[in-house]
Amino acid sequence: MSRIGKKPVELPSGVTASVSGQTIEIKGPKDTQSFTATDDVTIAVEDNVVTVTPRGMSKRARQQWGMSRTIVANMVTGCTTGFKKELEIQGVGYRAQMQGNVLKLSLGLSHDVNFEVPAGITVTAPKPTEIIIEGTDSQLVGQVAANIREWRKPEPYKGKGIRYKGEFIFRKEGKKK
């Protein structure tokens, strides 16, 4: 039994959900999102509560059960409050700034990196060493943060690079003479 799948998703005030076939559409104050579930699960909406139940107890149905419930819960959260990831830049001369819809990163390479921000995502750089990524789609916010971090991952000797805020980097000791 899926512990996550068993929990119903409560809809806060101002959020509505409608199901047609295997597609659920959630409308909230920030956004409208839809998700099409596989044929292994059934989605139902009753009294401001969304429930996801498996069709049968096959391995695939149980896998889709928990995942579908989590996606619906993330859609409800995204439509009400949204998602946010914060990145820190550490390193001498490493900085970021927004120019229109492009994030310009100076990361010690021979050229500046121009990162095109996808639609539905808001990226801000309040300080040259801080990047804030916000949006209503949990997967897209996380993917954009991962793509930005990929340009210069934190290295273990000096700790230079782009890291998530609060992330711990295990430091190594350098060579000794």
**For residue 2, what pLDDT band results from cuts at 50, 70 and 90?**
confident
The pLDDT of residue 128: 95
For the domain spanning 3-80, the CATH number is 3.90.930.12
Q: What residues form DSSP beta bridges with 118?
A: none
**For residue 177, what pLDDT band results from cuts at 50, 70 and 90?**
confident
Residue 136 has pLDDT above 80, yes or no: yes
When pLDDT is averaged across residues 18-44 and rounded to a whole number, the result is 93
pTM, two decimal places: 0.89
When pLDDT is averaged across residues 69-95 and rounded to a whole number, the result is 95
Is residue 37 within 8 A of residue 68, CB to CB? The reply is yes
Segment (H or E) for 42: strand 41-46
Phi and psi (nearest 5°) for 57?
-120, 30
Residue 172 has pLDDT above 90, yes or no: yes
DSSP result, 8-37: PEEPPTT-EEEEETTEEEEE-SS-EEEEE-
**For residue 59, what pLDDT band results from cuts at 50, 70 and 90?**
very high
The pLDDT tens digits for 145-155 are 999 999 999 99
Is residue 130 within 8 A of residue 86, CB to CB? The reply is yes
Neighbour order of strands in the sheet with 41-46: 9-10, 49-54, 41-46
| Tokens coding 36 | 């099409």
The pLDDT of residue 176: 87
Select the CATH number that applies to the domain covering 83-164 from these four: 3.40.50.2300, 3.30.470.20, 3.90.930.12, 3.30.70.980: 3.90.930.12
Ranges of CATH 3.90.930.12 domains, the chain: 3-80, 83-164
When pLDDT is averaged across residues 70-99 and rounded to a whole number, the result is 95
The pLDDT tens digits for 90-122 are 999 999 999 999 999 999 999 999 999 999 999
